[in-house]
Amino acid sequence: MAPKSSSTGKEKLIDDEEEVLQAVILADSFNKRFRPLTARKPRCLLPICNAPLLDWTFESLALAGVQEIFVVCRSHADQVKAAIRESKWSKAGSGIKIVPILTAKETFSPGDAMRDIYTRGLVTSDFVLVMGDLVSNIRIDEVVRVHKERRKTNKDAIMTMVVKESGARHRTKARGDSSIFVLDPETSECLYYEPVTAYPPTRLAHVPREIFAAHPELEIRNDLIDCSIDVCSVEVPSLFQDNFDYLDIRRDFVHGVLTSDLLMKNIHCYVAKDGYAARVKDTKSYESVSKDILSRWTFPLVPDDNHPSGHSYDHERGNKYFAKDHTVVLARYDQSPLPILPHTCKIGNNTMIGSSTQINENTEIISSVIGRNCIIGTGTIIRNSYIFDGTTVGSNCTIEQSIIGAGVSIRDDSIVQRGCLVGDGVIIGPSAQLEPYGRLSKRRDPAEIAAQEDEDEDSDIEDIEASQDSIPTTLGKSSNAIVWPTGPPEDAEEDDIAAFKNERFMRLGDDASDLDDSDDGSETSSSESESEEDSDFDSDAHSFTATSDASIPLNLPLESLMAETEFKDEVRQSLERAFAEGHSVDNAAVELKTLRMASNVPLTRVREAVVAAIVEKIQIVEANPAAQRKEIASVIGRWGELIDKIGGVDPIETVSVLQSHCATSQRLNLFGQILAALYQDDIVDEDDIRKWHSLPGSKGVGVKASDSVVEHLKKCWLIGAHMIKQFDEQESDEDSSEEDDPVEKQDKPKPEEEDGDADGEDPEDDEDEESSEDEEKISPTHAQQVKGEAISAAAEVSSPDESAEENSEEESEETESEAASRGDEFLEGDNNQDDVRAPPHSTQDIRATAASNASAVDESSVDDSEEESGETESEVESKTDEIVGEGSSKDKVKGFPALDSHEATTTVPSSTEPSVDGSDEESGETESEVESREENPIQSSKQTAVPSKEPVVDAGSKEDSTVDVGTRKAAREDSEEEESEGDSVEGV
Amino acid sequence: MEDFVLLPCDFMPPPSMPLSVLLNKFRTDVISDGSIATTCWFADHKPEKGAFPDEWFTNSQASPIIWDEVSGTLLHIDTPDDYDQNAEELELRMALLSRYPRMKLSMGFQDSHVYVCRRSILDVLEEKRHVDSFREDFLPWLLKIQYQRTRRRKYAQYLAPITKTTSQALALKHSTMTTDNNASINPFKGSLLSVELSVSGPPSPTEGEESIGGSTTFRVGIVVQRPDAGFTIRVNTLPNFLEINRRVLSQVTYTLPTDPKDRSLIDQKAQISSDTIIGGSTQVSERTTIKKSVIGRHCVIGKMAKIVGCILLDHCVIEDGAKLDGCILGKNTKVGAKAELSRCVTQAGYEVAAGESVKGEKLDVSDWTAGVGDEDEDEEQAESEEDS
């Protein structure tokens, strides 16, 4: 078959302007999955079924009629060169020219290698690009023909990827490293490529909608094995050259080309229906490819025919292969048809044994590959293992599912558990015990170290050597091995750990079942899936509010939101820095813009963050309207213009953002003054205020926040109404006396005057007790410590009265499920809030709670570089409590913004966004509160449908508090309706 | 207590596709693997651009659907909500992708709104209040049950009542004629030669669980009607209404009314092409040309009028010398003398002034009381029947 295919390939090529078919083999793995086996040898020279991988690759290419092969090698290049020199293909008359290309040590990725190919100008026409670990019998020449045919009509078809049809799960398809292809079934053009990782599990595939329009019918395929055989046109290396950030051929190059709006290049797939192609890209695929070869899926490349190293094997029933030269010494093995003696060594199916290997008595070898010149001792059991040449295994050893390098000596009574990799030349035992996934390599002698000194890649070997002073006793007395760490590196960052966990899916013998929360519908994905359902049936979900805290999905898809949360944090810090160090507005603006670019968040978020920061910057001056006004004017005067320098000017939105921020902030009463100051500084003008005023959202209409927030919003709106009235008056030159809006409370006059009223009124309310309590402790410097105190204070209060009991109950329930993700502080923050809003009959306790809360607020304001303490600016008593509640929880939750912001952004309908977002950067808690409030109306409307809910709702003023906790989760979580209903009853 | 068929009144399948095709698929699927419904989608008939004024189209934005070709299973319908959530990308669960690794996606198919359903669908519907539209809300949701385990668990009691008919799954498994949708075409799978190679097989836990649910997939079948299978249409837009009329007209031959009274109303000198239908008691005056049109009953068409490719409902009055091209005239429409209408739709009772010339507009009666019949269902019919 091989000669025939190459000849047909040649004919084709001669027709096509007599081009030589070139191939490029990237003979470096660019990763370390096989270490320590690859410590002294490149991966492409590791033997699989007793022939180096590179030879299998050459054989595969020879089948395709390739005439010129460039082997790009990086590590251990001299060995690769030597191997090429000695391979049968370099002998005269092989018809193939193999050129080793030594690339620089700085080549760290396939992309770098491609750039190197470009700069060397190696390829002159369409070429086949494969990796140096390919085992294939696919007719690549056919792929090349199809590719060239396509190129005749479409010059933009730059690449054809060979993919193999299989199933969703296949042993040669690595779960940690597979991909989804979206193809046009007509042209087999690849329209979209998405890599899939097993950890963190890819839950959703994202198919861009823009490709639907141009292609009436698409195929979304998850059943393709990427063989990493690419037929590339000459442009491909140059594209790598142009895009220096392309590293991986699939993830970066293919994805980049397909998503680029500028390149207008096409990539096609060749879906191989039959034939075999697989890469040995990790230890798991090493095993599966070995088994595939032994079970002859790679025919005609099988051990007994076309063995790449030229060995010859006898094929016996059950896919057993023995070296043909009859040098295999099997202890009384029943090889001949006429048994002379009862055999005592058992050779199982799918086993291959190299020449001159000696198997002793009572040995059991099952589904394994044994190299040449090995000696296996008596009574040893070897299962699913791969033993390279020249290795000696003592007697009574057990080797399970491991790869043992060449020249290894495993002494008697040793046990090698699954997944072990033992590097060349290691000596272990006797009685060594290897843990699963253990990795051993030979300690290098000084000469060797000197010889390799220039090889920087060995630095981590040195580290490992340095970290091990003595050989672990489990390895046996005379061992020369060093043990490689099995876990992720200690200093690993989150990414590395994820990568490590993902690699585990590719590790030999590791089923990673602890990580495998299989993507089709286990608990985690279901909770997520139900959140989707929730969005479909909002009202359903909301009716089961106080409930489903039983299972908090710990691994929500937070990643996407992390950026936003981080962004808020960054903005806050950046502005704090700017405020503290007195940066110029322009500099601060530049910093914000950079942040925005880096986090890729919409402008609105920036505006919210900036407005919030500026508002919080304003210090609350008690009982001194003039001083307060001055303070506002100075802050707005200094920083106000920053709002318009963040990359876009939208004064209407500015006002909305200000409003929603104030509605959830303690600076509610400053809204009018701030707005006036903004007006004075021309940051907003009259028309903007009018337009804002006319927006339905500004009035609190359609904002599904809790009553208090809506009320606050309305207050702000009324203040705006007053300003507009003033404008009108100015315009008409009338000097009409100022009238209070009938709806408005009497302490709500026009902005300029209001502070006097408010300030005068507040101090006698309950806040002053609290402020006296804790005030003295507070200084701007230890805001953090005080925070802790506030929490403990809150905790104390949370038992006495009935509402508090409820809360503690709820707390305990919640703690079980939630503590992990949120922490206790958060819970207590919640409860504080609950206490504050408890019904009037428990006023005493509430007072106490409020007091403690207020102290927390003080601290929070301190945290915002504010020295003033009382909640003096809020006008109405009841309001004050709420604000206190919010303020107190606000500060505590700061550490956990991610979850809450997530909730808020996912569940709050767009109409309410401003209000929620305004509070975003302040605290997560406030948001979630807002969110829960939104749901309350729905909830109360639903109460007939859910009788069990009624007690809670009946509690009236408590509605915010008790329901609150559950609602949040219910909203996110989803309609575990039936169960959660039950829960809710308990919870209440 | 029986399974039922839910179907619209405006679906026109080609003769090559009788309802029995769907029913047969439904029966087979229900018995073999616990399918719960069968739907039918057909290739969208796309009128050529510019043939009709834009306002004739309602929001007929086709939504992408995803289905499995091998087993004929509808897997996903992209809803406007999905679109709102992520307008850039279509999000697909990996659970779906691993269950059906080879899916088809197309924007080019329209729902025929013919659903063959298990009785249990109604029970689920009972559970799921807040569902406004079967097609827009319920069906997309229903599709998720087949691959989302939690939902499955929750609704299994409704979907698979205990009194389920015995599944023929086992028998069909051994059949060589049926294509088992779960065991996908995978020559490699057979490579697991010995039991010891458990690593090489698909991980067993998942496999086991899937096979438990295997007999009741709760899947929704799909029959895809390709364009080459014949002309299929749902008369739910004005262009479709016109289109189906055209197609029907091409198959008729006009003969003068047999009733002498009606016959007397049609002038000898009127030119009426054979691909025209004229209702009873309609008067056509001399030297009027009518081509490719449907004229209702009791219409009065004046002299020298020219009517091409139009649909006139009953009681229309076309005065002398009027020219109509590609119009749909509601009941009681009156077109003044020498008026010219091109690609217009008129509301019932609309009066076009004499000599007026209108192109490509929807003509509404400003006074709603003017002659709007109760059973006025011409152009509005399409919109109103959508939710069944």
Question: DSSP letters along B56-67, please?
Answer: G--S-PPPPEEE
pLDDT of residue A369: 92
Phi, psi of A374 (to 5 degrees): -95, 160
> Helical H runs in B138-190?
139-145, 149-159, 169-173
Q: Decide if pLDDT at A782 tops 50.
A: no
Percentage helix, strand, coil for chain B under 3-state DSSP, each rounded to 5 = 30, 25, 50
Decide if pLDDT at A13 tops 70.
no
Kindly tell me the sign of the dihedral angle through the C-alpha atoms of A88, A94, A96, A98. positive
Read off the pLDDT of each residue in A788-814 and give the average, rounded to a whole number. Answer: 43
Q: Is the pLDDT of residue A814 over 60?
A: no
With CA atoms as reference, the chain A residue closest to B108 would be: A216
Q: Do A168 and B148 touch (CB under 8 A)?
A: no
Q: Do B188 and A297 touch (CB under 8 A)?
A: yes
State the Cα–Cα distance between residues B65 and A212, nearest whole angstrom. 11
Largest CA distance in chain A: 125
CA–CA dist A303, A322 (Å, integer): 9
Find the mean pLDDT for residues A398-408.
Answer: 90
Q: Which amino acid is at A118?
A: Y
Crossing angle (nearest 10°) for helices A625-639 and A751-761:
130
- Percent of chain B at pLDDT exceeding 90: 3
Element (H, E) at B223: strand B220-225
Taking an 8 Å cut-off on Cβ atoms, the answer to whether B89 and A208 are in contact is yes
Q: How many residues does chain A have?
A: 988
| Closest approach of A182 to chain B, Cα-based (Å) | 9
User: Among residues 167-206 of chain A, which lie with CB inside 8 Å of chain B?
Assistant: 167-172, 180, 182, 185, 196, 201-206
Instruction: State which amino acid sits at residue B341.
Output: L
Query: Is A520 in CB contact (< 8 Å) with chain B?
Result: yes
Q: Which residues pair with A230 in a beta bridge?
A: A129, A161
Average pLDDT, chain B: 76
Q: Considering only alpha carbons, which residue of chain B is nearest residue A522? A: B149
pLDDT greater than 80 at residue B317? yes
pLDDT at position A864 is 42
In chain A, what is the straight-line distance between the N-terminal and C-terminal CA atoms, in Å? Answer: 76
Residue A518 near residue B206, CB atoms below 8 Å: yes
Whether A243 has a pLDDT exceeding 60, the answer reads: yes
The answer to whether the CB of A56 falls within 8 A of the CB of A301 is yes
Test the B interface: residue of A224, A529, A540, A978 with most B CBs within 10 Å: A529
Q: Residue A471 — pLDDT band, cuts 50, 70, 90?
A: low
Tokens of B357: 């010339």
pLDDT value at B167 more than 80:
no
A749 to chain B, closest Cα gap in Å: 42
Higher pLDDT among residues A317 and B194, named by residue: A317
The tens digit of pLDDT for each residue in A522-551 reads: 333 333 334 344 333 333 333 333 333 333
Q: Is the pLDDT higher at B11 or at A726?
A: B11
* Spacing of C-alpha A184 from chain mean position: 29
Q: Give B57-75 pLDDT, tens digit per residue.
A: 555 567 788 888 888 888 8
What is the rounded average pLDDT of the residues B302-328? 90
**From the CA of A449, how many Å to the nearest CA of chain B?**
38
Tell me how crowded residue A945 is: count the other CB atoms within 10 A of its CB: 12
Mean of pLDDT values over A73-79? 83
The stretch A469-497 carries a mean pLDDT of: 66
Contact B337, B318 (CB under 8 A): no
Query: What is the pLDDT at residue A386?
Result: 92
Rg (CA), chain B: 27
Q: Do A207 and B88 touch (CB under 8 A)?
A: no
The predicted model gives A210-222 an average pLDDT of: 84
> DSSP 3-state assignment of B342?
strand
Under a CB-based contact definition with an 8 Å cutoff, are residues A161 and A271 in contact?
Answer: no
What does the pLDDT read at residue A950? 40
Averaged pLDDT of chain A? 67
pLDDT digits 0-9 by tens, A362-376: 888 888 999 988 988
CB A449 within 8 A of CB A46: no
Residue A404 has pLDDT above 50, yes or no: yes
Chain A hits for B106, CB-CB cut-off 8 Å, are: 216-218
Task: For tokens 């040669």, name the residue.
Answer: A172
Is there a contact between B130 and A539 if contact means CB atoms under 8 Å apart? yes
> Given an 8 Å threshold on Cβ–Cβ distance, is A166 in contact with B186?
yes
Which burial class, exposed, middle or buried, applies to A459 when counting CB atoms under 10 A from its CB (0-12, 13-18, 19+)? exposed
- Most confident option among A60-69, A378-387, A742-751: A378-387
Lowest mean pLDDT among A608-612, B210-214, B254-258: B210-214
At A140, the amino acid letter reads I
Residues of B in contact with A938 (CB under 8 A): none
Nearest CA-CA distance, residue B18 and chain A, Å: 25
Lowest mean pLDDT among A343-352, B9-18, B269-278: A343-352
Asked, as a colleague might, if the bond just before A430 is cis with ω within 30 of 0, I would say: yes
Q: Nearest to residue A946, comparing CAs of A982, A907, A986?
A: A982
Is it the case that residue B183 has pLDDT exceeding 50? no
Can you read off the two tokens belonging to residue A63?
């089948």
Looking only at the bridges linking them, the beta strands covering A320-323 and A313-316 are antiparallel
Q: What is the mean pLDDT of residues A195-223?
A: 81
**β-pairing verdict for A392-393 and A409-410:** parallel
CA–CA dist A179, A221 (Å, integer): 9
| ipTM of predicted assembly, 2 dp | 0.76
Bridge partners (DSSP) of residue A375 are A358, A392
% of chain A surpassing 90 pLDDT: 1
**Any chain B CB within 8 A of the CB of A602?**
no
Q: Which of A204, A383, A942 to mutate to test the interface with B (most CBs of B within 10 A)?
A: A204
pLDDT at A413 over 70: yes
Per-residue pLDDT band for A464 (boundaries 50, 70, 90) equals low
The amino acid at residue A622 is: E
Residue A803: pLDDT band by 50, 70, 90 thresholds? very low
For A850, residues 6+ apart whose C-beta sits below 8 A from its C-beta are: A766, A767, A770, A835, A836, A881, A884, A885
pLDDT in tens, A109-122: 888 888 888 888 88
Cα B29 from Cα B220, distance rounded (Å): 9
> Is-contact A432 A27, C-beta < 8 A?
no
Q: What average pLDDT does this structure show over A443-463?
A: 58
**Of A651 and B1, the one with more pLDDT:** A651
CB B200 to CB A287 under 8 A? yes
Give the A window 827-886 contacts with B, CB below 8 Å. none
> Between the CA atoms of A967, A971, A973 and A978, what dihedral angle is there, to the nearest 10 degrees?
70
Q: What is the pLDDT of residue A333?
A: 53
Q: Residue B104: its chain A contacts at CB < 8 A?
A: 185, 217-220
Pick the more confident residue, A559 or A126.
A126
Distance CA B209, CA A85 (A): 53
Average pLDDT over residues A79-90: 84
Q: Flag whether pLDDT at A253 surpasses 60.
A: yes
d(CA A374, CA A362): 16
**What three-state secondary structure class fits A908?**
coil
Q: What is the mean pLDDT of residues B94-101?
A: 82
Beta bridge partners of B362: B345
Nearest residue of B to residue A183, measured between CA atoms: B104
pLDDT over threshold 50, residue A820: no
Q: Which of residues 207-246 of B touch A (CB under 8 A)?
A: 210
Q: What is the pLDDT of residue A385?
A: 92
Long-range pairs, A330-334, Cβ under 8 A, ≥24: A330/A359, A331/A359, A331/A360, A331/A361, A331/A362, A331/A363, A331/A378, A332/A361, A333/A359
Q: In B215-332, which ranges are continuous DSSP H helix?
A: 238-249, 260-265
Give per-residue pLDDT as tens, A566-598: 777 777 788 888 877 777 778 888 887 777 777
pTM for the complete prediction? 0.60
